[in-house]
Amino acid sequence: MIKIRPALNLAALVLVFAASVVGQDKAANSVRQAEDSWVAAIKSKDKTELEAILSNDLVYTHSTGLVENRDQYIASLTSGSQKYDGVSYDAPSIRVYDSTAVVATKVTMTGSTKGTPFNNQLRLLHVWVKQSGKWMLVAHQTTRLP
């Protein structure tokens, strides 16, 4: 029977935990960058960037209850019926689970829908999935705050 000293077990455990934390931080930072890319793309109506970060399986649920797929959402942005002037997050929480990430935050979104201005205080939930080495948005849900 091989006897392993407890100090070595503890040191190995600390190293494994530290590597896990660093990996989580790196993954969370890449998801944060994907969120930044989404905000930039919706504000600029950049169809190419939207197509690059929105999954073909996207389910986009607006705070009004309207549900759009990827093509419908891109069309509403690029046609001008939906316009975002500002999107600001308040202390987003990013949790990464292997190739899936969940972002939950309070968000303020300003812009207009079919010419009618909005300034919405919302809860936002995004689900990202890593596909072919890149984070893709697969689900968006916002809920109006009172």
Half-sphere exposure of 120 (CA within 13 A, CB side): 22
Residue 4, pLDDT score:
53
Domains recognised in the chain with CATH numbers: 6-144 (3.10.450.50)
Please report the DSSP string for 112-127 in residue order: EETTEEEEEEEEEEEE
Residue 17, pLDDT score:
44
Reference 39, options 143, 126, 129; nearest CA is 126
Reference 129, options 107, 104, 103; nearest CA is 103
- Burial-class residue 46 by CB neighbours within 10 Å (0-12, 13-18, 19+): middle
Residue 7, pLDDT score:
57
Check the CA dihedral 59-62-65-68 and report its sign: negative
Give me the percent of the chain exceeding a pLDDT of 90. Answer: 79
Reference 122, options 140, 106, 138, 110; nearest CA is 106
pLDDT 10s digits, 75-110: 999 998 889 999 999 999 999 999 999 999 999 999
Say what the pTM is: 0.82
Whether residue 144 contacts residue 122, with contact meaning beta carbons closer than 8 Å, is answered with: yes
CA–CA separation, 47 and 70 (whole Å): 11
Stretches in the chain below the pLDDT threshold 70: 1-24
